[in-house]
Structure 1
Amino acid sequence: MVGYIPAQDRQARSLLDAGRFAEADAAFDELIAVGANRVDEQWDRAAVLVSRAHLAWRLGRIPLALELLAEGWTALDTNHPSGPGTAHTLSILGYLLETIDQRGNAMDMMTLAVQIARGSDDSAALAHCLNREGHSRVFRAVNCTPERAAVHFARARDLCSEARSIARPGLVKRSASAVLGRALAGVGELEAAERIAQEALELGAAADDWFSGSLANWTLSTVRREQNRLEEARTLASRALERAEQIRYTNLIRQFSLDLASICEELGDPVGEAAALQRTVSASNTAIRVLQAGLGQALEQRRVAVQAQRMAAAAQEAALRDPLTGLANRLGLERRAPALLDATAADGRVPWLVLLDVDWFKDVNDLAGHTAGDVVLQEVAHLLRRECRADDLICRWAGDEFVVLVIGSSEESREAGPVVAERIRAAVHNHDWRLVLGRITKAPTVSIGVAAGPASLDSLFAAADIALYRAKRAGRNRVEIDTRPASDPSSTAS
C-alpha cells in the first residue's frame, strides 16, 4: 500500500499472516507507541487508522480496534469520496463489518471502494479493493442459497481475476489467486481452480504466507470433494484448518472446520467429524454471534460518540448544544435569538427564519435503523454549516427539524433567507448518501419554510411553520416563503 500506508503497518500484517504472533504484537506495539491515533501527515489518516483497526482486531485488542475504526470512519471525507486512500478506507471498513457479521451496507461499501479506486488510477489500491470484495463474496456464497451462491461466485471470479492480473507480486496477488481458485470451483471450473490454487499454495509457502496457503488448501479440498476423492479432500481440509488456526483467523476456522466435518460425515468417519465439530467452537457459536453483534453496535455507537464529543468540545457551551449534531439546541436558540433579532432591527436589517424538516425521515429509521437515522441528521447538520454564513444561528429544533436564523448584511438582508434556503435544499438533494444508506432507502431531501422579520422569534417560527406546511403539501423537497408581513399579528396565527 505504498503511498498511504506506512511500511511498519504492512510488516505487522505480514507477521500476522505468517502466524508469528509474538513478533506481530511487538511490531504493532512499536508502531502505535507514540499514540494509536497519531498519524504523520504524509500518510492518509483514515486509511492508516482503519488498517490499524484491522490489525488490532486480529490481535484480539477489541476496544482499541473499535476506537481506531471509529476514528478512521469519522476522518473519512463522505462529501467527496475520491482517491486511493479513501478507496482503501472504505474497502477495509466494509470488509471488517462483513467479518463481524454486521453486513448491512458492508458489500455496498466494498463495491463503492472499487469504483473510487478505478477513478483514482491507482492499480495497487484497485487490486486491494477488488480482492477484498471478491473474498467477501466467496464467503457469502458458501453460506447462502444455490441461486445466490452462483451470483456471488461468478462476481468473485471476475473481481479476483482482475485483482490477480494487476497486482504486483506479493500478498494481494497470492490472496487473489487463492480466492479466485475457490470462486472457479464454485462455478464448476475445477481444472482451472486446481491449477490456480496450487500456484497460490506454492507462492504462499515460499513467502511464509499461511493466510494464502490456508485458502489455497481449502480450494484444493473443495476440488477433490467435487471429484469424489474424499480421502484427499479430508487431508487438504485438515491442512487448511490447521493453517487457519495457526494464524488465529476465526472466520476461516469456522468455515474450514465445518467443511471438514461435512467431509468426514460423507466418509462415515464419526470420530473425525466430532473432532472437527469441536474445533468449530460450536459450543460457543451463540456467544460469539452475540459478541459480534454487540461489538458491531458498540462500533457504531462509539463512532457517533466520537463525532459528538468533538463537536461538543468545540462548542464550549455544552448546555446549549445538541449532543448528536453539535448545533445549538432549542434552548440555545431561545437564549441567543432575542439579542440577535434586536441587534438586527437596530441596524435596519431584515432577519429571516428558515425552518426545515427532513422528508420521509421515518422511512430511514424504519428501513435502515435508528443509528443510520442519527448519521443522516449529522450529515444534514454538516451541510447546514457548509451552506450558512458565520453569523447565522443554526439550531436542531427537535427530531428531524432544524432552524436557521439568517442575519444578512444591510445590502443582502431582503433576499438572504430565500437564497440560503434554496442553497440548503439543493445541497441535501445533491449530497451523496450512499456511504450512509447504501441502497436500503431513498436519499433524504428537505422541505423548507421561510419567514421574514422584524418580529419575535415565536412569530417568525409560526409564519415559517405555515410555509413549511405548504412545502410539504406541495410535494416536498422545495422552499416556500411566507408572503404576509411578519409584524401583522394575523399573519402568525397557527
Structure 2
Amino acid sequence: MRLLLNAGRLSEANTLFEQVVSRGPTSSDRWGRSYLLVHRATMAWRLRRIPLALELAAEGWTEMDSERPTGVLASRALGQLGYLLEGIGHRRAALDMVRLALHVAREAGDPSALAQCLQRLGGTLNFRAIDGKPVNAHEIFGEARQHLSEGLTLVGPDDVSYWPLVGAYSRSLAGTGDLELAARHATEVLAHGLELDDLWTVAVGNWVLGCVHAGLGEFVQARTLASRAVAAANKINDNSLLLRFSLDLADICASMEDEVGEAAALRCSVTASRMATETLQEGLGQALEQRRLAVQAQKLAMAAQEAAARDPLTGLANRLGLERSAQQLLEGTASKGKVPWLVLVDVDWFKDVNDDAGHAAGDAALREIARLLRRECRAGDLVARWAGDEFVVLLGDAGPGTDVGPAVAERIRAAVDEHDWRIVLGTARRPTVSIGVAGGPAKLDQLFAAADIALYRAKRQGRNRVEVHETMARLGELSES
C-alpha cells in the first residue's frame, strides 16, 4: 500500500486499503496492534479519508497509554504516530513522540527499527531547523545530521529506511553548508526514485537539489527542481511534504521576483496548511474524547477488578484478593532467601458478640479488628478477611529471626485483648482472638493447613492465645540455616 501511494497510484491504494482495513487488526500483541492502527491511520490520512484516519489514530494512541513502551513494535508504533502528528500539524507532540520512539528503539536493539527512528527524528529536526530562527538552524541541522549519519551505518540499500535516510541526510548536509556532498547524495536519491517510480523519493531528491541550487544562488534551476518536488508531493497526497516544499518554492520565486510563481506556491501552501489546521482541530477533539472515554473505562475496569478482590466490610483483601497476591509475595520472599509466615486469626465467641450487641455492632467490631491487624503489620504484609470472623496475615520478608511470625501473632492477640471496646460494643462481651501460626518454604495451601491445625489447638487450649505449628516452624529454621 505504501508503495502504491508513493507511486501516486491512489485509486489502487484505496482499493487495497479497503480490503485491509475491513479485516481489523490481527495482532494479539498490544504494541503490534498499536502499530497496525497508527499505520492504517497514516494510510487513511494520505488517502484523504480524514474521519477514518482520526478514528484509527485515536484508537492506536489510546492503546499506547496502558503500559510502558518496550520492544521493536513499540518503537515503530511511536515513530509512526510521530510522523502522522507531524503531517496533521501537531508538531510539538510529533517531536516528543519521535524522540521517545528513538529511546525505545535503542533499548530494543534492532538495527532496522533504530535506523527508521533515527530517520524520522532527523527528518523532523530538518523541518524544525528550516522553520525556526536562522540563528538556531545550523545547530539543529547538525543534530539531525548526527542522527541520520548514525542511521546510515546501521542499514544498507535494501532496507526500507535507507533511501529516506539518505534523502534526509542530504538536506541536513545542505543545512550545515556541505552543498557539494548534499548534491551528490540528493542526486543518488532522485535517481533511485526515478528508477523505482517512487514519487516520494523523487520529491525529496528534487527538493534537496532545489535547496542546494538556491544556496548557490542558481534560482532558475532551484525553481524548476522545487516545482517538481511540489508536484510529486501533491500527487502522492503527502501533506507535510507538500506544505514544506511549497513554502520553499515560494521563497525561491520571491528571490527571483517571480510574483506569479510565488503566489501559486503560497496558494498551495495555504491549502496544505488549512487542511492540517482543520484536521488538527477536529482530530484533537475527537482523539481527546476517545482517550477520555478509554481512560474512564480503564479506571472503571480496574475499580471493578479491585472491588472483586476486596472485602466491602473491612476494606481488607478478600479470599480472591489473597489468592491473587499470595503467590507473588511467596515467590518474592523465596527469592530473597527469606521464610514466609502465615498467621490465621479467628475471633473468639463472635456469635455471642453478635447476639449481645447486635449485628451492626458485630460488623463494627470486625472493622475494628481489621484496623488493629493493619496497625500491627507492615505495609508489605498481606492482610485479608478469609471468611466471616476469620482473618489471614501473610508475612513476606520476615527477616532473619525464626520467631517473627509468632511475635507478630502475639502483638495482634494483645492488641485485640487490650483494646478499649466500650465505644464499639458498650457493655457487651468484648472479643478476643485465637491465632494459629505456620512458617516455612511452602505453598499457600500448605501454610494455611498447618496454621489451621495450630489455630484448632489454640481454641482447644482455652482461646485468646497463639499456637505455632511446630513442624512448619522447624522447616523454616532449617531453610534459614
Q: 1:186 is aligned with what amino acid?
A: G
- Maintained 8 Å contact 1:261/1:272: yes
Q: Identify which of 22, 28, 39 aligns with 2:11.
A: 22
What are the residue-to-residue correspondences of 1:450-489 with 2, within 5 Å? none
Residues 254-280 of structure 1 deviation map (CA, whole Å, 9 limit, x = unaligned): 221122122122212222222222222
TM-score, normalised relative to structure 2: 0.63
Distance 1:148 1:301, change over 3 A: farther
- Maintained 8 Å contact 2:38/2:77: yes
Q: Distance in 2 between matches of 1:327 and 1:49?
A: 30
How far did 1:34 drift? Answer: 2.0
Distance 1:308 1:279, change over 3 A: same
Which residue in 2 is equivalent to 1:249?
238
How far did 1:125 drift? Answer: 0.5
Q: Identify which of 202, 211, 216 aligns with 1:213.
A: 202
**Structure 2: runs of 5 or more not aligned:** 317-361, 375-379, 398-414, 425-481
Within the alignment, does 1:350 sit opposite 2:383 as a pair? no
Which residue in 2 is equivalent to 1:31?
20
Count of matched residue pairs: 350
Within the alignment, does 1:82 sit opposite 2:70 as a pair? yes
- Maintained 8 Å contact 2:75/2:117: yes
Q: Distance in 1 between matches of 2:140 and 2:131?
A: 11
Which residue in 2 is equivalent to 1:309?
297
Q: Distance in 2 between matches of 1:344 and 1:144?
A: 67
Distance 1:55 1:353, change over 3 A: farther
Q: Identify which of 240, 248, 255 aligns with 1:259.
A: 248
What are the residue-to-residue correspondences of 1:258-407 with 2, within 5 Å? 258-281=247-270, 285=273, 288-312=276-300, 345-346=365-366, 349-351=369-371
Which protein has the larger Cα radius of gyration, Structure 1 or Structure 2?
A: 2
Q: 1:16 is aligned with what amino acid?
A: L
- Maintained 8 Å contact 1:179/1:216: no
Within the alignment, does 1:194 sit opposite 2:176 as a pair? no
Distance 1:350 1:156, change over 3 A: same
Which residue in 1 is equivalent to 2:211?
222
Residues 275-325 of structure 1 deviation map (CA, whole Å, 9 limit, x = unaligned): 22222235x845742432331342233223223235546877xxxxxxxxx
**Structure 1: runs of 5 or more not aligned:** 1-11, 317-325, 355-386, 393-406, 416-451, 460-494
Matched-pair identity in %: 36
- Maintained 8 Å contact 2:382/2:394: no
Q: Identify which of 148, 153, 165 aligns with 2:153.
A: 165
Q: 1:139 is aligned with what amino acid?
A: F
Q: Distance in 2 between matches of 1:388 and 1:64?
A: 49
Q: Identify which of 89, 92, 96 aligns with 1:101.
A: 89
* SS class of match (1:411): strand
Distance 1:409 1:197, change over 3 A: farther
RMSD between aligned residues:
3.9
- Maintained 8 Å contact 1:344/1:350: no
* SS class of match (1:171): coil
- Maintained 8 Å contact 1:218/1:236: yes
How far did 1:165 drift? Answer: 2.8
Q: Distance in 2 between matches of 1:74 and 1:298?
A: 12
Which residue in 2 is equivalent to 1:150?
138
Which residue in 2 is equivalent to 1:203?
192
Distance 1:347 1:313, change over 3 A: closer
Q: Identify which of 111, 124, 128 aligns with 1:123.
A: 111
Distance 1:287 1:192, change over 3 A: closer
Which residue in 2 is equivalent to 1:465?
none
Distance 1:78 1:124, change over 3 A: farther
Q: Distance in 2 between matches of 1:57 and 1:391?
A: 53
* SS class of match (2:70): coil
Q: Distance in 2 between matches of 1:287 and 1:247?
A: 15
